[in-house]
Amino acid sequence: MTYADYQFGIYRDGLLDRRPPYPVDVHRLEARARELLPDTPYWYVAGAAGTGSTAAANRAAFDRWRIVPRMLRDASERDLRTELFGRSYPAPLALAPVGVQAIVRPEGELATARAAASLGLPMVVSTAASYSLEQIAEDGGPRWYQLYWPHDDEVTLSILERATKAGYDTLVVTLDTWTLGWRPHDLDRAYLPFLRTTGLAIPFSDPVFRSRLSRPPEDDRAAAVETWIPMFNGRAHTWDQLSLLRQNWDGPILLKGIQHADDARRAADAGMDGIVVSNHGGRQIDGAVGSLDVLPEIVAAVGEDLTVLFDSGIRTGADAFKALALGARCVLVGRPYIWGLAAGGEEGIRHVLQCLLAELDLTLGLAGLSSIGDLDGSALRER
């Protein structure tokens, strides 16, 4: 069985007059989610900073690169296996950290964890998850933890210790969201899920954080929210503080939100293992550079010293192909699997991931390549 077989399975079902239960095209899938979701959760996921120009720049950056296929090469069998930080994965695809998934569907991150585990793909669990670290880890599968870094070292270390005990082996530190960007869709609706205590399961279940409260969160949720929000929002960390994480996390550490080659070099100097080239899907700064536009220069600067991952704008397997060709070792997908969650829970997410993998597999073969390891910039041409 190959990932591309998912396509033929759909065609075979067509002989029995069965169509896919969820759209294959991600834009139609989003339209399905839009029909199912109320305005507030839909726009919390779909919305971007300011005018949306950074989100648009992400997509425009993909359009500037074109695939140059090669012919008469035997690529009938493909190998998408990828090694990251000494561990083998079936494909260079991971599920980006997306918080408050319960606003989309009650099972939220639990459904996402099951879908990712069924395919052997890493799920990056957000600090803003709707369920605790321990609950999400129950279904097994590769599990990475994304940290929104509290300004309380004891709380930080307690959460990291819990993540380690629950089997999370890679730490992803988000740098670009130390305070919320200007998000008009959410502002127009006066909607921030954290203030409604959604997405706070991890801190609310943490013993050290709970010790900071005069009453447990179950008895006074408003006070708990007022304690947590300023603990991680509104004040930035600095490069010299990374040593705390390096000294207290035994596994790989990635810095997410890197958009400048100098910052990538500083990450290497600070002893980090990898970076995620990302602008948070255009959710933080309006008018910022598209992430794919800066990927080649960042890879050129640190590709020998750091493992470079990529997110922001991945919608298709062809998008993943382009980011990998430009030097990313793995791509993270975000909004598309959330639309799958909205449309069909665990099954909808699995459908989205299988579509992405099938298209990546087919694109690789049709470009004349039989292995992800063979993919490089020679497969592309810039418009």
Give the DSSP H or E segment for 87. Answer: strand 87-89
Rg of the Cα trace of the chain? 20
Catalytic residues: 280
Amino acid present at 316: T
- Tokens matching residue 315: 């919608």
Query: What does the longest C-alpha to C-alpha distance in the chain come to?
Result: 71
CB 287 within 8 A of CB 54: yes
Res 229: pLDDT? 94
| pLDDT tens for the 383 residues of the chain, in order | 799 999 999 999 999 999 999 999 999 999 999 999 999 999 999 999 999 999 999 999 999 999 999 999 999 999 999 999 999 999 999 999 999 999 999 999 999 999 999 999 999 999 999 999 999 999 889 999 999 999 999 999 999 999 999 999 999 999 999 999 999 999 999 999 999 999 999 999 999 999 999 999 999 999 999 999 999 899 999 999 999 999 999 999 999 999 999 999 999 999 999 999 999 999 999 999 999 999 999 999 999 999 999 999 999 999 999 999 999 999 999 999 999 999 999 999 999 999 999 999 999 999 999 999 999 999 999 99
Burial class (CB in 10 A: 0-12, 13-18, 19+), 235: exposed
Using CA atoms, how far residue 65 sits from 146, 204, 257, 328, in Å, is: 30, 45, 22, 15
The ranges assigned to domains in the chain are: 5-68+83-370
pLDDT score of 158: 98
**Degrees, nearest 5: CA angle 299-304-305:** 100
> Could you give the CA distance from residue 293 to residue 272 in angstroms, rounded to a whole number?
23
pTM for the whole structure: 0.98
CATH code, 5-68+83-370: 3.20.20.70
Q: At what angle do helices 39-46 and 335-366 cross, to 10 degrees?
A: 40
Helices (H), the chain: 5-14, 26-36, 39-46, 53-63, 108-119, 133-136, 153-165, 184-188, 201-204, 207-211, 221-232, 242-248, 261-269, 291-302, 317-325, 335-366
pLDDT for 165: 98
Determine the 3-state secondary structure of 276 from DSSP: strand
